[in-house]
Structure 1
């Protein structure tokens, strides 16, 4: 398989992977919703803050869902001078839904619980001490990143092409997708912001770096994904989302300075969540 073809296929499923990753940083009121309204006139998002911890989702997203993702629009603002690998091929994905399972679960944190040490000779020890015993507690609602990303990757690339997904145990914002042929896709969330609108929409915007390794040369770019989730009064679907993903060139790209703060590709998706 040629490197260019591999990159094109990888880009196809990377475009919405960010909604499966991610401490919430509040954006300025209305900024993210306005951003979605101005598609495709976008510049690089500047109000995000460094990503810390995991992205916390609202309780109404708890559970396992079948997601139907449909590419409904795309744009290459700098074409024909600058076009990303796979953009033209992605036109074939327009209005072609792709389905996969995702789930959102309670974050598991270890909390130390103090227990008094045993007595000495049947009487209380003159020097008592506390023994700290780890206790698992459930807290915030987060995405099951490994499960979600594996299902998403296989829905685009096929079961045999995707071997596994590993999330960094020290950081929920870094994960590696292992592909056939000793290839890897490294995704790192670097910044994010969230917003809750008066009509109940939960909007996230995240910036991440993605590095494809394993070919004759690595391929690196920067991606921003802004998604507005909306709980519906129906169950089929129960949640819908409007998502725009913007691809920016990395500083290593020879066209980086020509592109400036503008995205080189924009993709708009409709996401529908059905209870599973």
Structure 2
């Protein structure tokens, strides 16, 4: 694979929606919603905290969904001085919906995790169950990656059994993308929106030299009164340069690329009944 194609794949992975990737720290009131409304005037988040376990979603997100994702806007705040590879090519994705399946399930604790819990030691909860709703990260990531890159390009996705915040995507030609969530914040607005922000490091391995960058995904989910769609979301993915990049100091705390998506969640036909029960 040529270097230019490899770099383009790296940046396309940066755009993959972080639905995929316990209790998360609350952001300052209104900070995340204000951040979305200020697009594309962004800088790095400062109020995020190291993740504690997995990201917990509201009960109304439980179930299997067909998601329609549409890129509705993009920006290169530092152009023309700094423009990421593949940015101009990604303009072709504007207003072109992509569909894939995702699911949100009850969290499953390993025996080791359960043994650490004081609730388990007091026999207040079973060792392997939880009422928390979390993303099925391996299922979601695999479906999402294949929808963008093709079935043959993506071999599998593995989530670290000791940490839901670390996963590896295995690609053809012995290439790997290692994604690690390093910080997180959540916010619930008065009108019922659930907003998440996750910051993660991505390491692309298998090319002539490893490539590292930092990505932030901020998403506002909103439950609708209809079933078609049942949930909508506004999502912005921001790409930041790593310290190894020669333009790192010139970019400072500003992103070099921003992508805004509209997400629509439709109940999967085989799971409609379970989704209704979870509301």
Q: TM-score, normalised by structure 1?
A: 0.90
Structure 1: how far apart are the matches of 2:4 and 2:203?
14
Structure 2: how far apart are the matches of 1:9 and 1:95?
20
SS of aligned partner of 2:57? coil
Q: Which of 222, 243, 252 lines up with 1:251 in the alignment?
A: 243
RMSD: 1.3
Which one is further off, 229-238 or 212-221? 212-221
SS of aligned partner of 1:137? coil
> How many pairs were matched up?
255
Higher strand share: 1
Which residue in 2 is equivalent to 1:115? none
**Kept in 1: contact 2:182–2:199 (CA 8 A):** yes
User: 1:40-119 counterparts in 2 under 5 A?
Assistant: 40-109=40-109, 110=111, 111=114
The structural deviation recorded for 1:16 is: 3.5
Q: TM-score, normalised by structure 2?
A: 0.89
Larger Rg: 1
Which residue in 1 is equivalent to 2:145? 153
SS of aligned partner of 1:33? helix
Structure 2: how far apart are the matches of 1:74 and 1:203?
20
SS of aligned partner of 1:17? coil
Q: Which of 197, 206, 231 lines up with 1:205 in the alignment?
A: 197
Structure 1: how far apart are the matches of 2:246 and 2:198?
25
The structural deviation recorded for 1:22 is: 9.4
Instruction: Give the 4+ runs in structure 1 shifted more than 3 A.
Output: none
Q: Which runs of 5+ in 2 are unaligned?
A: 116-125, 269-279
The structural deviation recorded for 1:9 is: 2.7
Higher helix share: 2
CA separation of 1:22 and 1:220: change in aligned 2, threshold 3 A: farther
Which residue in 2 is equivalent to 1:38? 38
The structural deviation recorded for 1:138 is: 2.9
Residue-by-residue CA offset, 1:27-51 (whole Å, 9 max, x unaligned):
0000000000000001111010011
The structural deviation recorded for 1:102 is: 0.2
**Kept in 2: contact 1:66–1:101 (CA 8 A):** yes
